């Protein structure tokens, strides 16, 4: 594997925002997720639950509810009172339409996706028509006092049920009249506390399922207005609820972090009578589970502890495979850290500011596993706050450490870093050319004299950086054919001749870089059905190494415009099963200049040195064999060696880069550190304490 001096960085204080709402695509292939900071993410189930798209948040645009409508259009509504459509190809929020009823607490689309119903603060339920290019107000339904916290359409679109505080009502859509109003805590004697209906669902049988702040899940017959069943699932509030498509299973999220499944089961074998039974409890979260979703094969929950948990239902999965594994996502599938190799600086990206740190250093040397004492402590150089309510899309520091750039939804900023002795000052580069916003990815060239800006519609802008602090727009690289998706990954080659770019629909194009006089599109890597999670160009061979979200690795020779023989060998042989069954995608690839056959990869849980010169492991051998290898004698070790050398020492790993030949930097964010930053969870009496 080789020995490295490792900078183990734990001062990246990232606190991911909690999950506010989830929306499963009706066809079940995608999941939209909104966080409490207003960021919207789209996960692709088919591509191994990869976080495909991220639309950063906005201070004024909180998202309370998300829904898919009219095919693949995603709408969000929040307390700002606006309904926003998200441009998933341009990764930005379109201009919102005012709902006209104050803050919007909930929004649902009907079964055909043609109409949106919103529940507002003032107690009104409004219906909007989804039209091409936007939405149009259609009508108001019966308004009653009390904010509408949750809504649900009947599958036949004839009725809407709206949950408020202490009651819910059923509204006939055609007449707009309230046909039934049911007090949920009517039978609770002298209930002083108000009972908030947090989530509601109207089943095709006419049963209304409500989840309320008393921790109950109740089943009502809305026509009679009677309570059919009541399940107290928790002592604290039941916050969210989702019904499976077949209406035989319900998932409920509670404020204690537990989720429960309720199933409709026959009372006796072969009997017609069925009853809802609370079956499995799951405790994956430590905080409120504000959002749940029920896909055909999995229970999905998102909590304020920023975790997205996908718990597959074993009985729905045909064969026991990788799909049956529980997944938890806490950290984004993107890089939030960039590294200035030469200057040994790290730039951390937070939602609204950047932090620049200088790595510590040591003069000692030691054996494997030893902790070396620092002679110079890591130093927080500067914090750069983004102005305005918009959150940062991307950021980058140049390899020499003198340039820092970041972009928000509307603006692109470039700064020049001046190091004078101990002090560090940042100066904004004036007259940065106005770009068509936003920039999705920034990348400095290896010699730090040019900057690549990934932009919408598949274009990449090339800037020349001028001393002592200026920049000039050189060129815009455009994809060969018309392309609508934004470029979200860039990889320049070390010699500055090539640039690889990844966009949403075309996979990976290679464009000769600035020094080449032609500046034209060179080739496109053959399309693959999964998203690219990381890519890099090898410094000496100019081979492009691509990691896909389904854990496949490909090596593409840019000069030859074809896959390399090693890559073909990997494809024909297949990767190790344990490698393919990992949860998190590779987020960064780098190379060791000392050893050209080595590729360094990492995901959240492991760091891997891939040695192309060694044979690939087959399924019968152990993938993670480093510890067993250590115990073997030298000769036996040779026989056991295989290409994947995996280290799991650093977890969860947010970033890894090679500073020089034998110096690594890893950025960890221990879960416990991040948990302490969260608000206190609901107090629960724990036995034995």
Partner 1 sequence: MVAPGALRVVRCGGSALRGARAVFSADSKYLLYVSGDFVKVYSVNTEETLRLMGGHADLVTGIQLNPHNHMQLYSCSLDGTIKLWDFMDGIPIKTFTVGTKLLALYTLASAEDSVFAVIPKKGERDTFQLVSVTLTKGAGQDLEGKELSVVLDGVGASMKHIAFGREVCSPSGFFFLLCSVGCTTKTKGGDNRFSCVVCHPKEDCIATGHADGKIRLWRNFHDKKEYTYSTLHWHHDIVMDLAFSIEGTRLLSGGVESVLVQWHNESSCQKDFLPRLGSPIEYISMSSDGDLCCTLHTDNRISIINSNLRFSRSIQGLIKSRDVKTGLVVDPRTKALVLNGEPGHLQFYSLQSDQQLFSLDIVQRQYIHQAGLKQSDLVKVAFSAQGTWLATVEESEEVTDPELQLKLWFYNEEIQSFELNTRINTPHDNHITDMCFRDMDELGDDSLILVTTGRDCVFKVWVMVEDTDPEGIILYWEICDFVGSYHNYQATNCCFSEDGSLLAVSFEETVTVWDSLTWDLKCTFCHPPGNIRNICFGRLTCSKYIIGATDYGFLCCWNLLTCALEWSAQLNVVVLQPDPLSEYIAAISWLSKESSLFVFKPNEPLPVYIQRNLCKDKILLAAFVPRDEPEITSSEKYPWLRKSQLFFLTDTQICETKILLTFFFKLAVEESLPVTPFSLLLGKHRHQQAQEDTDLGKLVVHNKQKQASPAVKELLHTPAHVLPSASFLCTIFINSLLISKEKKSAEEVADEVEMESEKAEDDSDEEDITAMEQEDTSHMELLGEMTCKLSKSQEKELRKIRKMDYSWISAL
**Closest distance between partner 1 and the C-beta of residue 268, in Å?**
5
- Residue with smaller CB distance to partner 1, 271 or 373: 271
Q: Does 597 bind partner 1 (CB under 8 A)?
A: no
- Residue with smaller CB distance to partner 1, 266 or 526: 266
- Residue with smaller CB distance to partner 1, 249 or 513: 249
- The interface region with partner 1, picked from 82-90, 279-287, 325-333, 469-477 by CB under 8 A, is 279-287
The SS3 call for residue 681 is: coil
Q: Does 278 bind partner 1 (CB under 8 A)?
A: yes
CB atoms within 10 A of CB 95: 8
Q: Does 326 bind partner 1 (CB under 8 A)?
A: no
By rule CB under 8 A, what string of x and - marks binding of each residue 190-229 to partner 1?
-------------------------x--------------
Q: Does 635 bind partner 1 (CB under 8 A)?
A: no
Q: Which one among 71, 156, 194, 281 touches partner 1, defined by CB under 8 A?
A: 281
- Residue with smaller CB distance to partner 1, 12 or 282: 282
Q: Does 279 bind partner 1 (CB under 8 A)?
A: yes
Complete DSSP assignment for 172-202: ETTT--EEEEEETTTTSTT--S--BEEEEEE
Measure the N-to-C terminal CA separation of the chain; round to a whole number of Å: 46
Extract the runs of DSSP E, i.e. beta strands, from 238-313: 238-243, 249-254, 258-266, 274-283, 289-295, 298-303, 308-312
Give the integer Cα–Cα distance in Å for 15 and 34: 15
| Total site size for partner 1, rule CB under 8 A | 21
**Closest distance between partner 1 and the C-beta of residue 622, in Å?**
20
Give the integer Cα–Cα distance in Å for 298 and 366: 48
Q: 166 vs 121, 193, 213, 216, 355, CA distance in Å? A: 15, 9, 10, 13, 47
Q: Does 257 bind partner 1 (CB under 8 A)?
A: no
- Residue with smaller CB distance to partner 1, 631 or 689: 689
Looking up tokens 């504000």 gives 290
Q: Does 323 bind partner 1 (CB under 8 A)?
A: no
Phi, psi of 676 (to 5 degrees): -70, -20
Nearest C-alpha neighbor of 392 from the set 330, 345, 358, 440 = 440
Q: Which one among 266, 296, 526, 559 touches partner 1, defined by CB under 8 A?
A: 266
- The interface region with partner 1, picked from 60-68, 262-270, 464-472, 624-632 by CB under 8 A, is 262-270
Q: Does 233 bind partner 1 (CB under 8 A)?
A: yes
Q: Does 315 bind partner 1 (CB under 8 A)?
A: yes
Complete DSSP assignment for 31-93: EEEEETTS-EEEEETTTTTEEEEEE--BTT---SEEEEETTTEEEEE-TTSEEEEEETTTTEE
**Closest distance between partner 1 and the C-beta of residue 113, in Å?**
31
- The interface region with partner 1, picked from 258-266, 334-342, 374-382, 471-479 by CB under 8 A, is 258-266
**Closest distance between partner 1 and the C-beta of residue 215, in Å?**
7
- Residue with smaller CB distance to partner 1, 242 or 534: 242
- The interface region with partner 1, picked from 80-88, 261-269, 418-426, 628-636 by CB under 8 A, is 261-269
Give the integer Cα–Cα distance in Å for 563 and 575: 16
**Token duo for residue 489:** 């990954």
Enumerate the β-bridge partners of residue 347: 338, 356
- The interface region with partner 1, picked from 113-121, 266-274, 384-392, 495-503 by CB under 8 A, is 266-274
Q: Which one among 277, 325, 375, 614 touches partner 1, defined by CB under 8 A?
A: 277
- The interface region with partner 1, picked from 231-239, 324-332, 427-435, 629-637 by CB under 8 A, is 231-239
- Residue with smaller CB distance to partner 1, 120 or 289: 289
**Token duo for residue 518:** 């032609």
Give the integer Cα–Cα distance in Å for 187 and 183: 9
Q: Which one among 192, 246, 269, 634 touches partner 1, defined by CB under 8 A?
A: 269
505-564 residues in contact with partner 1 (CB under 8 A) are none
- Residue with smaller CB distance to partner 1, 266 or 433: 266
- The interface region with partner 1, picked from 232-240, 417-425, 505-513, 547-555 by CB under 8 A, is 232-240
**Stretch (H or E) spanning 675:** helix 671-676
Q: Does 272 bind partner 1 (CB under 8 A)?
A: no
**Token duo for residue 207:** 């049963």
- Residue with smaller CB distance to partner 1, 207 or 234: 234
Q: Does 232 bind partner 1 (CB under 8 A)?
A: yes
- Residue with smaller CB distance to partner 1, 318 or 627: 318
Give the integer Cα–Cα distance in Å for 80 and 517: 50
**Closest distance between partner 1 and the C-beta of residue 201, in Å?**
20
Give the integer Cα–Cα distance in Å for 6 and 166: 58
Q: Which one among 235, 425, 520, 640 touches partner 1, defined by CB under 8 A?
A: 235
Looking up tokens 């040019």 gives 450
- Residue with smaller CB distance to partner 1, 121 or 229: 229
- The interface region with partner 1, picked from 92-100, 274-282, 406-414, 643-651 by CB under 8 A, is 274-282
105-144 residues in contact with partner 1 (CB under 8 A) are none
- Residue with smaller CB distance to partner 1, 188 or 277: 277
Phi, psi of 660 (to 5 degrees): -145, -165
Q: Which one among 94, 267, 377, 614 touches partner 1, defined by CB under 8 A?
A: 267
**Token duo for residue 21:** 């709402």
Residues 6+ apart with CB under 8 A from 402: 343, 416, 417, 418, 448
Q: Does 683 bind partner 1 (CB under 8 A)?
A: no
Q: Which one among 3, 174, 190, 268 touches partner 1, defined by CB under 8 A?
A: 268
Q: Does 265 bind partner 1 (CB under 8 A)?
A: yes
Extract the runs of DSSP E, i.e. beta strands, from 493-603: 498-503, 508-512, 523-524, 532-537, 543-548, 553-557, 562-563, 588-591, 598-602
**Closest distance between partner 1 and the C-beta of residue 315, in Å?**
4
Q: Are 340 and 347 in contact (CB under 8 A)?
A: yes
Q: Which one among 8, 139, 193, 280 touches partner 1, defined by CB under 8 A?
A: 280
Residues 6+ apart with CB under 8 A from 641: 614, 615, 629
Q: Which one among 140, 263, 597, 651 touches partner 1, defined by CB under 8 A?
A: 263
- Residue with smaller CB distance to partner 1, 131 or 265: 265
Looking up tokens 């090539």 gives 498
Print the SS3 string covering 85-102.
EEECCCCEECCCEECCCC
Complete DSSP assignment for 573-641: H---HHHHT-SSPP-EEEE-TT-TTEEEEE-SS-EEEEETTSPPP-TTS-SS-HHHHHHS-HHHHHHH-
Interaction site with partner 1 (CB under 8 A)? 215, 231-235, 263, 265-269, 277-281, 314-315, 687-688
């Amino acid at each position: 594997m080789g020995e490295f001096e490792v900078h183990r960085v734990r001062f990246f204080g990232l606190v991911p925002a909690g999950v506010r709402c989830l929306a499963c695509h009706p066809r079940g292939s995608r999941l939209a997720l909104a966080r409490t900071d207003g960021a919207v993410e789209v996960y692709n189930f088919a591509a191994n639950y990869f976080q495909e798209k991220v639309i950063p948040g906005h201070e004024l645009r909180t998202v309370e509810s998300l829904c898919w409508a009219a095919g693949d259009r995603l709408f969000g509504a929040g307390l700002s009172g606006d309904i926003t459509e998200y441009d998933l190809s341009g990764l930005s929020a379109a201009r919102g339409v005012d709902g006209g009823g104050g803050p919007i607490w909930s929004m649902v689309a009907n079964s055909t996706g043609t109409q949106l119903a919103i529940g507002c603060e003032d107690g009104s339920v409004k219906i909007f028509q989804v039209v091409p290019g936007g939405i149009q107000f259609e009508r108001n339904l019966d308004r009653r006092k009390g904010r509408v916290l949750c809504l649900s359409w009947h599958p036949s679109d004839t009725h809407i049920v709206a949950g408020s505080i202490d009651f819910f009502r059923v509204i006939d859509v055609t007449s707009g009249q309230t046909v039934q109003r049911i007090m949920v805590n009517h039978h609770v004697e002298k209930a002083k506390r108000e009972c908030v209906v947090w989530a509601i669902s109207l089943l095709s049988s006419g049963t209304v399922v409500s989840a309320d702040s008393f921790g109950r899940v109740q089943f009502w017959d809305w026509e009679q207005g009677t309570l059919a069943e009541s399940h107290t699932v928790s002592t604290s509030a039941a916050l969210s609820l989702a019904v499976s498509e077949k209406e035989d299973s319900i998932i409920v999220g509670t404020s204690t972090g537990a989720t429960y499944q309720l199933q409709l089961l026959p009372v006796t074998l072969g009997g017609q009578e069925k009853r809802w039974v609370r079956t499995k409890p799951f405790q994956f979260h430590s905080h409120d589970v504000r959002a749940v979703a029920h896909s055909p094969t999995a229970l999905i929950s998102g909590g304020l502890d920023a975790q997205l948990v996908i718990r597959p239902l074993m009985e729905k999965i045909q064969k026991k495979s990788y799909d049956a594994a529980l997944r938890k996502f806490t950290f984004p599938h993107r890089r939030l850290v960039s590294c200035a190799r030469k200057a040994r600086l790290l730039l951390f990206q937070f939602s609204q500011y950047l932090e620049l740190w200088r790595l510590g250093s040591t003069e000692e040397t030691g054996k494997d596993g030893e902790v070396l004492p620092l002679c110079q402590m890591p130093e927080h150089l500067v914090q750069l706050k983004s102005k305005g309510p918009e959150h940062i899309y991307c950021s980058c520091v140049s390899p020499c450490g003198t340039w820092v750039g970041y972009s928000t939804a509307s603006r692109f900023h470039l700064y020049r870093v001046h190091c004078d002795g101990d002090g560090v000052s940042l100066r904004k580069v004036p007259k940065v050319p106005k770009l068509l916003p936003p920039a999705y990815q920034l990348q400095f060239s290896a010699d730090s004299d040019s900057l690549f800006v990934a932009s919408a519609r598949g274009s990449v802008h090339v800037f020349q950086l001028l001393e002592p602090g200026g920049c000039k727009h050189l060129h815009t690289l455009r994809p060969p054919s018309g392309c609508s998706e934004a470029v979200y990954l860039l990889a320049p080659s070390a010699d500055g001749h090539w640039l690889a770019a990844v966009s949403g629909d075309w996979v990976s194009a290679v464009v000769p870089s600035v020094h080449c006089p032609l500046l034209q599109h060179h080739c496109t890597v053959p399309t693959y059905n999964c998203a690219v999670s990381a890519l890099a160009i090898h410094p000496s061979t100019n081979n492009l190494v691509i990691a896909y979200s389904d854990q496949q690795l490909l090596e593409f020779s840019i000069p030859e415009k074809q896959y390399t023989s090693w890559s073909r060998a990997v494809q024909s042989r297949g990767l190790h099963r344990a490698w393919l069954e990992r949860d998190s995608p590779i987020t960064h690839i780098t190379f060791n200049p000392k050893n050209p056959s080595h590729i360094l990869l990492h995901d959240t849980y492991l760091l891997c040195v891939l040695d192309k010169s060694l044979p690939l492991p087959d399924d019968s051998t152990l993938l993670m064999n480093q510890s067993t290898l250590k115990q073997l004698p030298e000769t036996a070790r040779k026989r056991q060696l295989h290409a994947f050398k995996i280290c799991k020492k650093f977890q969860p790993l947010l970033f890894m880069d090679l500073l020089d030949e034998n110096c690594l930097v890893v950025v960890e964010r221990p879960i416990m550190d991040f948990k302490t930053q969260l608000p206190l969870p609901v107090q629960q009496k724990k036995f034995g304490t």
